[in-house]
Amino acid sequence: MKKTFLLGLILFLFNVSCQAQIEESDVITEKIEKAVESSNEWLKIVDSTNYEMSWETASDLFKKRVTKENWNKALVGVRKPLGNMITREIKSKKYKTSLPGVPDGEFVMIVYSTEFENKENSYETVTPMKDNDGKWRVSGYFIK
């Protein structure tokens, strides 16, 4: 009788644990989807060469670390020589709560394989974060 009860208790706790992991996974998947949507919208702004607007729509953390003027200069120097974006495909996306050099929070690191007019093989890393108001906004952008 005790063995049956113990086995039942173990199975119950296992099912509860599995259900909690599934629910947590669903929540993270939803967060990743929102971050990707935010990233894609932000990249459209960058692709249209509206660099000042890309700064304005970035996260508070981003705006504290780089001025609008410096951001505009950086993108003109980096993106303009590449030409127009031809194709862009997500290669990976990872949810993180900690990244080097910034306060802990909620981040999604998204790596895109991108082809530009003047550069076929590029990788763009866009890192949206959940901002203070609960919206996902870009906090980092790098091109390799």
Q: Which domains does the chain have, with CATH numbers?
A: 2-143 (3.10.450.100)
pLDDT digits (tens, 9 = 90+) for 45-77: 999 999 999 999 999 999 999 999 999 999 999
**Mean of the per-residue pLDDT values of the chain:** 88
pTM above 0.85, yes or no: no
Considering Cα of 96, then 102, then 103, then 106, what sign does the dihedral take?
Answer: negative
Confidence band of 5 (pLDDT split at 50, 70, 90): low
Confidence band of 120 (pLDDT split at 50, 70, 90): very high
Residue 106's nearest CA partner among 118, 121, 96, 117 is: 96
Mean per-residue pLDDT for 105-125? 97
Q: Which strands make up the sheet holding 136-143, listed edge to edge?
A: 85-96, 107-116, 119-130, 136-143
The β-bridge partners of 93 are 110
pLDDT digits (tens, 9 = 90+) for 75-93: 999 999 999 999 999 999 9
